[in-house]
Chains A and B, each alone.
Chain A
Amino acid sequence: MIRFDNVCKRYPGGHEALSNVSFHLPRGEMAYLTGHSGAGKSTLLKLIALIERPSRGNLVLDGVNLSNVSNSKVPYIRRNIGIIFQNHHLLYDRTVFDNVALPLIIAGYQHKEIGKRVRASLDQVGLLNKEKSAPITLSGGEQQRVGIARAIVHKPGLLLADEPTGNLDPELSKEIMQLFARFNDVGVTVLIASHDLDLIRQMGSPVISLNQGQLSHNDLDITSHA
């Protein structure tokens, strides 16, 4: 699903955020991306979501080499990715329902279908009774779950999460991680960036670690070699 092949990312000014990163995350797998802040976790996710482009190397997503994707094709690739952010990125001028419906509206779903899917998605994150609420009235954990509902509502093949539990207490964090594991159970490929090593150890999925832009630990290669 995701294949990094000697990928480098150098930002203007010379800072190299990623150097020679190579790994393969197979379809249907779930993995954690760890490392200190500044190790390059966010950059790696941004490369997959086409927010940044690699400076060198190949990055193949679902059979498409992202180095060669034209800007006009970017939206269509992003539609197969659900992205979850630490700071939720919700739109506070509309209801929970309208926030979650946005990916479906972009893709041009019919009105009836949108209602059905948004409710199914909110049900999965346990917020079915909050569809008419304004996001600002929800707690941090609930807002994060609205963000997750929005990321999964159009049933993407890949879920990316950047520090999804960053602002949550351990109990809520665990619930969120278990939620991701459930999506993985039904076939979604999941990549979660997190620095919460204790929590990751409890979850038991493969871990990729970055240290100063370089891969320092990779469970995925071990599993594929075995």
Chain B
Amino acid sequence: MPRTDSNQIAKSSPIKAWGINHLRTLIASLGAMTRHPASSFMTIAVIAIALALPAGLFVLLNNASNISIGWDNSAQISVFLKSDVTEKQANRLMKKLRLYDDIDQVSLINKTQALKEFKKISGFGNAIEALGDNPLPHVLTIQPVVDANRPDKIRHLIKQLNQQKQIELAQLDLQWVKRLFAMLEIAQRSIWVIASLLGIAVLLVVGNTIRLDIQNRREEIEVTKLIGGTDAFIRRPFLYTGLWYGIGGGVFAWFLTTLSISLLDNAVEHLASLYNSGFQLRGLSFSEGVNMIGFSCFLGLAGSWIAVGRHLSEIEPS
């Protein structure tokens, strides 16, 4: 056939044709979405909300962890002296402990002074006066030298302190920090569970949207198959549509997260100022935002891939 020769000259090289096809489809699928702005926007908004929710929780959790960072380093050992230890003896012990290599600072909480403060704060002044004797012991607070490489050092120090005969009890005030971290851990896992469920929801939303799209374009798919469109060619616009949904959803989710955080920001700043803290909420960082968009793209593409795989082969010309 002489005709095929002229065909081959005019046709682009396979790789170029492939590139042209991809670019054309990429733009065409975006164009197709803008022709139905309301429904496209709704799909994107659903994806965005599903992503913004775990992203927002993640940001809040990150901020909570940021506040508590360093707290485990500021470990403090409370040393309760025996009740018969006098103030003089307590002072002597304090000076002795200051010489320890492992100890950074020692300060004494005088029991008379402590009682006065307790009366003032607790409001149990009359009840305490009724006791007659001061029930409080002298307390030394010790700031140990923190060596992150040797966490057992502090435990060793506490053991040493507990062996001293003037000391009733030495304990590390770390329990509550541990509890806080355990709670943060639970919160973090909950966010992962929520994020996974919402991720599946995004997958289903995109899959369903693409499935409807495939049904609406049944005629077009049949005709395209009849005039020699390969499965890859037919699949492509749907995959790109899924990708655009992903990109749109990711960008919008970033916007929603940032917006929500900035709405909270004033209130948090006010609360922080009441605690004399300069703490400020930190929003999504740039790389976190980009990661979220990437993840959203992946979900969009995967959702459309599943829909296309399930429904495209059902359509054959007849």
Contacts and interface: CB of A to CB of B under 8 A. Distances in A.
Q: Is the interface of A mostly helix, strand, loop or mixed?
A: mixed
Contact of A150 (B21, B219, B227, B316): B227
Contact of B317 (A51, A107, A109): A51
A187 interface: yes
Interface in B1-41: 1-4, 6-7, 10-12, 14, 16-18, 20-21, 24
Interface in B60-93: none
A155 interface: yes
A72 B10 CA distance: 24
B197 interface: no
B216 to A, nearest CB: 10
Interface residues of B, number: 32
B309 interface: no
Contact of B226 (A51, A76, A107, A113): A51
B223 interface: yes
A49 B226 CA distance: 8
B160 interface: no
B230 A187 contact: no
B220 A91 contact: yes
A103 B222 CA distance: 13
Interface in A34-85: 49, 51, 72, 75-81, 83
Interface string B202-234: 000000000000000001101111111111010
B153 to A, nearest CB: 68
Contacts of A111: 20
A108 B7 contact: no
A105 B1 CA distance: 22
B228 A108 contact: no
B317 A91 contact: no
A157 B227 contact: no
A23 B22 CA distance: 42
Interface in A142-195: 150-151, 154-155, 157, 187-188
Contacts, number: 84
A187 B317 CA distance: 28
Given A108-B21, A155-B3, A76 B10 contact: no
A76 B231 CA distance: 11
B276 interface: no
A109 B13 CA distance: 9
A108 B17 contact: yes
A106 B11 contact: no
Contacts of A27: 1
A75 B14 CA distance: 15
B10 A109 contact: yes
Given A83-B227, A102-B224, A187 B11 contact: no
Contacts of A113: 10-11
B93 to A, nearest CB: 87
A76 B11 contact: no
Nearest to B24: A105
Given A91-B223, A155-B3, A106 B12 contact: no
Contacts of B226: 49, 51, 78, 83, 89
7 contacts: A78-B225, A93-B220, A107-B228, A108-B17, A108-B21, A110-B12, A154-B7
Interface of A: 27, 49, 51, 72, 75-81, 83, 89, 91, 93, 102-103, 105-111, 113, 117, 150-151, 154-155, 157, 187-188
Interface of B: 1-4, 6-7, 10-12, 14, 16-18, 20-21, 24, 219-220, 222-231, 233, 316-318
